[in-house]
Every structure is written in structure tokens, then in C-alpha cells.
Amino acid sequence: MQGRRRKRYTSMHQYLLMVVVALVMFFPILWIILSSFKPMIEFSVFPPRILPSRLYWQNYAEVFANSKLLVYLRNTLILIVGNTVGTLLSSSMVAYPLARMRFKGREVIFSLILMTMMVPGYVTIIPQYVLFKQLGWLDTFLPIIVPAFFAYPYNVFLFRQFYRTIPRELDEAAKIDGCSEWGVFLRIIAPISRPIFITIGTLSSIFWWNEFFIPMVFLNSEDLKPLSVGIYSFSRTTFVVRWDLIMAMATIMLLLPMALFLLARQYITEGIKTTGFK
């Protein structure tokens, strides 16, 4: 009896601890959302107020009127779609032979792919800049989208680990029925691998929605900037930092990642969990 009570109290304490940690981690997001409804004068009040005195919707109207928000959103969606499609196609195809086919040097190739994950992306940014400048791709979406069609190592790793959890008997049965390797991939492996496709697609979309450094390096024109860079540029166009408008734009930036995660959280959990089975 005492053991059950002790276990119940322990689980209750763990639950309360998780609630407190979740509230602490969510507080900055809550602060941004509430601050987006404050007039500019309330940002100079001390001590700071968490709740706005009234809901000031004019911040959002002013953001749409005085900034190129719709242009930034369009550019962001172009980068998301291009990179997500590119990495899903290339990474899934690169991972298939590494997971399902037997050939000499397979493990060496996979080890080399994993080794490239240890190289920081900032180290390669200068050679990439020089290369894309010689190709005449600067100030276009090409330097940001085209590399996604050559497979990202981490996504190759996730695809490979998921493919290895699929029974090989399915491949053998399909080949007996006359399927080629390409047919096995398209008709058997790809449909079964929907959780990992959704997982990587969601993570890629969230990454490129928030990415700041790479677009900042390769894009100069105001009409090509994504939302992350647009907020930074918008904050520097006035002599006074308009925290009210910046918070409104930041709230808009929060919407897609939160919506994607809520819609795909089941697939993300299943996809990442399954990659560790083998």
C-alpha cells in the first residue's frame, strides 16, 4: 500500500515538474505573442507588463501596410518548397542503395557521408560563395535551393536507418513478381516510408522557415528576402526600433512552425523512434 502511494506521489511530482519546465520554456513565446498586441508606449513602461492594457490590433495592420510582408512570405514559401522537395527526392534515393542493396564499399561510402556531418557549415560558406559567384547565381534562389537536390547527410542517415527497419522479404517478393530495384523503391519502400518522409519534410520546412544566415549571404535584393531576413531589414529602416511591429512580425513567424508541428507530431515521433530500431 505504501509502495503504491509512494509511486503515486513520485509520478505526481514528475508531472508537476514537467508542467513547470514546459511553462518556463513556453514563456518567451507567450511574451512575444502578448507583446504583439501592445502599443509602442507600453514597451517603455517599468516594470514591464506581461499583459497588454488592451488588444492593439493596429500593429498587424501597420505591418502589412508598411512592410513587404507578403513578398517575404512568398519568398519564404519558395525556399521551403524547393528545399523540401529537393531533399526528399535526393536523400531518399541516396539512402536506398545504402540500406537495401549489397555492394562493395557501401559502408565506406556511408561513413564518408557521416564524416561530412562533422564539418561545420560555416567553414564551406566561402567556397560556396565563390563558386556561386562564378556561376552567376548570386542574388537568386539557386544557391539556396540547388544544393538540396544533392542530398543532406543527416537526412540520408535518417532515411537509411528507417529503410533498414523494413523486412527484406518485401524486396524479394517484389523482385520475384518482376520488379526492378527502381520499382521496389517506388512501389514498396517509398509508400511504407511515409512517416520518415513526413518527418524530414516537416523538419526541413521549419528549418528553412527560420533560416537567417544562408539567405542573408546570398540574397541582396529586397524583393528576394525571406521573412527571417525581412524582419531584420525592417527593424533597421527606422531611427526608432519599433518593437511593437517587430513582435507582430515575430508572431506571424511562429504560426507555421507551430502549426506544422501540431499536425505532424505523431509522424515525427514515429519516424525518429523507428530509425533507432536497427
pLDDT tens for 201-245 read 988 988 999 888 999 999 988 889 998 888 877 766 566 777 788
Helix axis angle, 153-163 to 194-210, nearest 10°:
160
Query: Taking the CB of residue 247, how many other CB atoms lie within 10 A of it?
Result: 21
> What spatial distance separates the first Cα and last Cα of the chain, rounded to whole Å?
41
The structure's pTM equals 0.80
SS3 per residue for 70-95: HHHHHHHHHHHHHHHHHHHHHHHHHH
Confidence label for 37 from pLDDT (cuts 50, 70 and 90): confident
Which has more confidence, 152 or 64?
152
Sign of CA dihedral 210, 143, 117, 190: positive
Average pLDDT, integer, range 24-31: 85
Say if residue 88's pLDDT is above 90: yes
* Integer Cα distance of 208 and 206 in angstroms: 6
CA dihedral of residues 119, 123, 127, 129 (deg, nearest 10)? 120
What is the average pLDDT across 51-78?
84
Which has the closest alpha carbon to 143: 91, 93, 213?
213
Q: Which of 144, 147, 122, 130 is nearest to 224 (CA)?
A: 144
How much is the mean pLDDT over the chain? 83
The backbone region for 178, taken as left when phi is positive above 0, alpha when psi lies in -120 to 50, beta otherwise, is left
pLDDT band per the 50, 70, 90 thresholds, residue 5: low
Measure the CA angle with vertex 203, ends 198 and 206; round to 5°.
Answer: 125
| Class of 64-274 in CATH | mainly alpha
Q: Which helix (H) or strand (E) holds 168?
A: none
- Confidence grade of residue 144 (pLDDT, cut at 50, 70, 90): very high
Average pLDDT over residues 176-181: 83
DSSP conformation class of 14: H
